[in-house]
Chains A and B, each alone.
Chain A
Amino acid sequence: MSGVEGYMYPNEVTLYWSVLIVLYPFITGLVAGAFILASLERVFRVEAVKPTYRLALLTALAFLLVAPLPLILHLGHPFRSPEMYFTPHSTSAMAMFGYVYMWYLMAVLVFEIWLDYRREIVLWSQQSKGLMRTIYKIMALGSSNIGERSLHIDDKVGWIVTLIGIPSAFLLHGYVGFIFGSLKANPWWSSPLMPVVFIFSAMVSGIAAVMLLYMAVTKLRKQAIDMRCVDTIAMYMFYIFIIDFSLEMLDLVHRVYEADESFRTLNFMVHTKLYFSQIVLQIFVGTLVPLILLFITQMVKLPEIARKRIYVLSGSLILISVFAMRWNVVIGGQLFSKSFIGYTTYKMALVTREGLLVAIGLTILPLFFLWALVKLLPPWPDKDLHEAAAGD
């Protein structure tokens, strides 16, 4: 069989989890990370990041709406996926997905966004026209109570929801790590560190994504980028990335030092089939370079333009690094035989349901969702609305 070195069990020659399953933890990670950034302002009172609060929430929602698509598309029978809701198997990590997802989508994100925007929604439902008016009316759920007491209650409840949202975000993404980390059959995956590493890399990637989006959107709106905000975000990104990198290195060092029965195989794989995606992309280009760059911004007082460029470059590299990390986990975990004496090759299809084009489409799709959400719920102060409200 082509692409096989050594011996694979015959059923292992094909990879059953494709690039779509790489995309799935990547996208859910962005959701969790974006939400954590939003919670910085809301719960931890980091006022500097306020300009990104609503954008972070909308980003999380846009990506969350896309998150199940790669999963569903990779299923042999996509239309049977509601079975996960109807008969979830209590011992299966994957069965939890449906419920954790629904909880996170409805009880956390949608609810928090609704509470935060309710005042505007009510005002928009009174002042906009045509279809938009109807949409806002539906979103207001027929209540136009935006009195001071009512908004105060919203604020309190919103705070509680964010508080619940933090462990929920951890749960959503930690559990994705658990899906891989809990499989004893696969030594590349089986590790209690897996959920933790997934959470921290998720936070880094989500924060990087929101930072880049904020800078891009502000540029598009021809507004000035709030450097205090971006500096603060970059600082958090830097520190969380250090934790993430330390954890990943801990995992690596542990594996190298223990050198159990699978080590020879995995070591060979990392030095051959995964060399580019793991050593070059993930560790050097995607981790060490941005860490050094961000370290410089923390140590030296650089001019604004230099900081901006470093942030954009580091943020992009971090996204590449985290994507490479998901790739190395998902694809890497299937490249070696569970007999530990052989390797296979992943041949990515181009136009099939699990091919490259679909993967690219699914990566871009959240940006369209975000665009629509920003149109519907502009995350920046609406000047016209304020005046109109004052005139009421």
Chain B
Amino acid sequence: MNINRRHLMILLPAAAVAWKHVLAGTPEDSPNYQMSEHWWGMLIDIPKCIGCGNCVRACQTENDVPDGFFRTWVEQYHRSDYHLETPEVISPDGGKEGFPVVKEGEEGKFFFVPKMCNHCTDSPCTQVCPVGATFITPDGVVLIDPKYCLGCGYCVQACPYGCRYIHPEKKVADKCTLCYHRITKGLTTACCEACPTGARQLADLKNPNDPIHEFLKTHTVQVLKPQMATGAKAFYNGLDGSVR
């Protein structure tokens, strides 16, 4: 324990500057961020997910997600050997408090699948918005303008993945922002920050040094519902065919 040393550290200019940058309110305060230099996505490594629910809680904390609605959630799949196409899926309270224990020796395969907005390149939700209240940013994040949204719910219907909801108090569409307020300041998303196993990794496809490139080269990666042709950017490693 070296509390004195720690306090001293806080007063050091370098630490103070770094933190100030994180706290910066607007992009103008983070002048190093250029939208044109990024193209954001997410890597979800299913074999690493332990279903702890850390991501769901972290997202709720970071983004004030209302109870009963989810910007990210975790599903537990049970894919029986006899019904490959009709898995049993549970997600109690979005998996926020984890899952009931599955006993050793149960028939079939059990695994966890974290879900979130896929930040689709050709997103059906932004296509149908009647007023331009939801859109994809130049850096590839699908956002909602809460000051412009009518709350018509058309985008909610158009999302094939069930990622959107109407915020019960704000009465506007709401969903994952890929923690846009964090990634534009050099931080990772709250879910990635809180994930203990690295099952979720923020990916910048325009950054040649991002480990995503090596990962995509060496793994078999799939997106959810590829038949929807949405250009989804949440890449799943080890995705079972029964996942929908």
A and B touch in the complex (CB under 8 A): yes
Q: Which residues of B contact A9 (CB under 8 A)?
A: 73, 91, 115, 161-163
Of B42-50, B99-107, B147-155, B207-215, the segment with at least 4 beta carbons within 8 Å of chain A is B147-155
Q: Which residues of A contact B170 (CB under 8 A)?
A: 76
A76 to B151: give the CA distance in the assembly, Å: 4
Contact of A95 among B115, B130, B164, B172 (CB under 8 A): B130
A337 to B93: give the CA distance in the assembly, Å: 16
Q: State whether A80 and B150 are in contact (beta carbons under 8 Å apart), knowing that A89-B130, A94-B128, A186-B157 are contacts in the complex.
A: yes
Are B115 and A77 in touch, CB under 8 angstroms?
Answer: no
A185 to B159: give the CA distance in the assembly, Å: 6
Of A10-18, A115-123, A295-303, the segment with at least 4 beta carbons within 8 Å of chain B is A10-18
Task: Give the secondary structure class of A's interface.
Answer: loop
Are A183 and B128 in touch, CB under 8 angstroms?
Answer: yes
Decide yes or no whether A238 CB sits under 8 A from chain B.
no
A200 to B133: give the CA distance in the assembly, Å: 33
A304 to B89: give the CA distance in the assembly, Å: 61
Q: Which residues of A contact B160 (CB under 8 A)?
A: 184-185, 338
Are B124 and A185 in touch, CB under 8 angstroms?
Answer: yes
Are B91 and A7 in touch, CB under 8 angstroms?
Answer: yes
Within 8 A of A (CB), among B105-159: 115, 124, 127-133, 148-154, 156-159
Decide yes or no whether B228 CB sits under 8 A from chain A.
yes
Task: Give the secondary structure class of B's interface.
Answer: loop
Decide yes or no whether B179 CB sits under 8 A from chain A.
no
Decide yes or no whether B86 CB sits under 8 A from chain A.
yes
Decide yes or no whether B166 CB sits under 8 A from chain A.
yes
Q: State whether A77 and B172 are in contact (beta carbons under 8 Å apart), knowing that A10-B94, A95-B130 are contacts in the complex.
A: yes
Q: State whether A94 and B94 are in contact (beta carbons under 8 Å apart), knowing that A11-B164, A76-B171, A84-B130 are contacts in the complex.
A: no
Q: Which residues of A contact B171 (CB under 8 A)?
A: 76-77
Are A97 and B130 in touch, CB under 8 angstroms?
Answer: yes
Q: How many A-B residue pairs have CB under 8 A?
A: 128
Q: State whether A87 and B172 are in contact (beta carbons under 8 Å apart), knowing that A9-B161, A77-B149, A185-B124 are contacts in the complex.
A: no
A74 to B171: give the CA distance in the assembly, Å: 10
Number of contact residues on B: which range applies?
A: 35 or more
Q: Which residues of A contact B86 (CB under 8 A)?
A: 264, 341
- Shortest C-beta distance, B98 to chain A (Å), equals 15
Decide yes or no whether B90 CB sits under 8 A from chain A.
yes
Are A80 and B130 in touch, CB under 8 angstroms?
Answer: no
Decide yes or no whether B165 CB sits under 8 A from chain A.
yes
Decide yes or no whether A93 CB sits under 8 A from chain B.
yes
Within 8 A of B (CB), among A277-332: none
Are A88 and B131 in touch, CB under 8 angstroms?
Answer: yes
Decide yes or no whether B21 CB sits under 8 A from chain A.
no
Q: State whether A89 and B131 are in contact (beta carbons under 8 Å apart), knowing that A12-B162, A77-B149, A339-B244 are contacts in the complex.
A: yes
Contact of A16 among B68, B91, B131, B156 (CB under 8 A): B156
Q: State whether A92 and B154 are in contact (beta carbons under 8 Å apart), knowing that A11-B69, A11-B70, A339-B89 are contacts in the complex.
A: yes
Are B91 and A183 in touch, CB under 8 angstroms?
Answer: no
Within 8 A of B (CB), among A51-71: 71
A9 to B165: give the CA distance in the assembly, Å: 11
Decide yes or no whether B87 CB sits under 8 A from chain A.
yes
Interface residues of A (CB under 8 A from B): 7-14, 16-17, 71, 74-77, 80-81, 83-84, 87-89, 91-95, 97, 179, 183-186, 264, 333-334, 337-342
Can you give 5 contacting A-B residue pairs, CB < 8 Å? A7-B75, A10-B70, A10-B73, A89-B130, A89-B132
- 5 tightest A-B contacts by CB? A76-B151, A9-B162, A76-B171, A185-B160, A95-B130
